[in-house]
Structure 1
Amino acid sequence: MAEFGFNEHHQNEAINYMRFARSKRVLRLRTVDSCFEELKDSRLVEETFTVDEVREMLDGLQAVVRGEVETELINTAHTNVLLLRQLFSQAEKFYLRLQSDVSELENRELLEQVAEFEKTEFKTTNKVNQESSKPKLAPLNEGGVSELLNKEIARLQDENEKLKTRLRTLESQAMSALDERSRAERALKDLQRVQGEQQEIGSLEDTVAALKEDYERSLSINAASQKGLHDNLVSAKHDLLRVQEQLTMAEKELEKKFQQTAAYRNMKEILTKKNEQIKEIRKRLQRYESDE
C-alpha cells in the first residue's frame, strides 16, 4: 500500500485490519451458506413443489439472508467507528485533529487498489489468523517532524495557559460585574422602596393637611356658631330682663290701678271687717275654752 504514502508500521496496521475484516466476512458468508443448507435439508425433501410452496421457501430464505446481511453491515459500521475512536484518541494525546473526506470512500480507483492489495497480500500467505496484541503508537524521533510537533505542542500549551489565565481574569471580572449588578439591583429596590414610602408619606401628608384644613374650618365654623349663640344668649338674656322689668312695672302699675278702683277699696274694707270679726270670734273661743 505504498501508493497511499503509508510507512511500514501503518501498512502493517492496515493489513491487520483487513485480516480482521476478512475473517468477519468469511464467517458471515458461512452463516449465509448455512441458511441455504438448512433450507435444503429441512424443506427440499420432496420431488415436486407448488409455486406457492416455492415462493414461501424463497420468502423465508430472503428474510433470513436479509437479516444476516443487515446485521453484518451494521456490525461493520460500528466496528469502523471503534477503529476511528482508537485513532482519534491517540491523535488527541498529541493535540492533533484528524480529518476525513467521506467522498474518497467511493473512489473506484482507490477501491480497486485496495482490492488488488488485498488479493496480492492474502495470496502470498495462508497463515492462520492470530490475534495481535493491542497496537501502540511508536515513539517519534526527536528530529524533523517530531521537533516541529513538540514546538507546536509547547506553543499550544503556552497559549492554553494564557487562555486559562485570561479565562480566570474574565471569570473574576464577570463575578465582579455580577456583584456590582446585584448591588445595583438592591440599591434600585431600596430606592424604589424609599420612593414608594416617600409617595406614601406625601399622600399621608396631603391627607393630614386636608384633615387639618377641615378641622380648622370646622373650628372656625364652631367658633362663629358659638359666638353667634353667645350673642343670641346675651341678647335673649337682655330681652328677658327687659321683659321681666316690663312685667314688674306692669304688675305694679296694674296693682296701683287696681288699688285705686272702688271694687278694690270695697273688697279691702270687707276683708278688714272679716279680719276683725275673725279676731273677735277667736277671742270668744279662747274665753269658752278657758271656762271649760
Structure 2
Amino acid sequence: MDISLSDDHELQVQAYLRFAKLKRAQHVREALAVITEFKDDRLTPGEMYNYTDIKGLLDDMSSSMKSLVDKEIQHAYHTNALLVKILLSQAQVNGLELQVDTNALENEFLLKQIAVSEATAVSRPASDFVRRNTQLGKIGTVSTINMSDPKAAKERDALGSELQTTKQRLEQLQQQTTQMMRDRTAVTNELNALKDELAAKDAALQAVQTGQTEMLSKMQREFSSLSTQAAGAAQVSGAQFEDLKKQLNETRGDLEETRRKLARAQDEINSKDAEMRGTRDVLDGRLMESKQFQQMKKMMQQKSSEVVELRKRLGRYEPQSIPSADDL
C-alpha cells in the first residue's frame, strides 16, 4: 500500500506527530505524578508492611492508574478521530470524497514509517513548521484547517461582522462622550462666568452698602446735632424754631429712605446669592444626572464586555503555534 505524500503534506503529518509527542510526554508526566503522590500519601519510611497491606496498596494504585490510562488513551483516540473528521470535512468542502481504511492502521511496516517521521519531526526546529505553515496557508494546514469547516467559517465571519459593528458603535459612543465632555466644559465655563459676575455685583452692592452706612452715620450725627439745636429752640425766635423743625423732619425722612434702600440692597444680595447657588446646583447636576448620560455609560460598559467576549470566541479560530523541539 503506497501512502507517499508530497513534501507539503508530509510536513503537516510531522507537525501533528510533534503535537502528539508533546501530549504523550505530558501524559507520562501525569502518570508519574500520580505514582509519586500515591507513594507520598500511602507509604511511610521505616514502616513494615505485610502481604495484605501491600496487596491493598497495589490494588488502590492499579485502580488510580487504570482510570488515568483509560482517560489518556481515550483522549488520544478522540484526538485522532477529530483529525480525521477535520480532513474529511475539508475534502468535502472541496468536492472530494475520501474513504478511511481502518485495516491499514495495524500494518507494522506503515507504523514503522510513522515512527521514522516522528523522529524526523522532533529533530527539526519549530521554525521550519511555522514558516511552512505560512506558505501553505492557501491549501490549509493542521493548524488552520478548522477554517475550512463551512459552519466554523460562517460563524467566524458573523463574529467578525459583529465585532466590526461593535467597534463602530464604540467609536460613536466615544465621539458622543467627547461631545458631552465638551458641553460640560462649556457649562462649567458658563457657571464660572456667572459666579464672577455675581461676585462683581456682590462687591458693588457691598460698596453701596458701605457708602450708605457712612451716609446714615453722618445723618445720625446731623440728626443728633439738630436735636441738640432743637432742645435750645426755646431761646431762639419762632421763625428759627420752625426752620430747625423743618430741617429735622427732612433729615428724618432722608434717614428713613436710606434705611429702606439698605433693606432693599440686602434683599437683593440675598436673592443673588440664592440664585447663584441654585444655578450652580442645576449646572452641576444637569449633565451627570441626565438619563442620556447614564444610558450611554451603561451601553459603553456593555459593549466593552461584548468586545472581550467576541475576542475570546474568535481566538478559537486563531492558528496555534507548534512547540520547539528544544522544549521536548
Q: Same fold (TM over 0.5)?
A: no
| TM-score where L is the length of structure 2 | 0.37
Structure with bigger gyration radius? 1
| TM-score where L is the length of structure 1 | 0.42
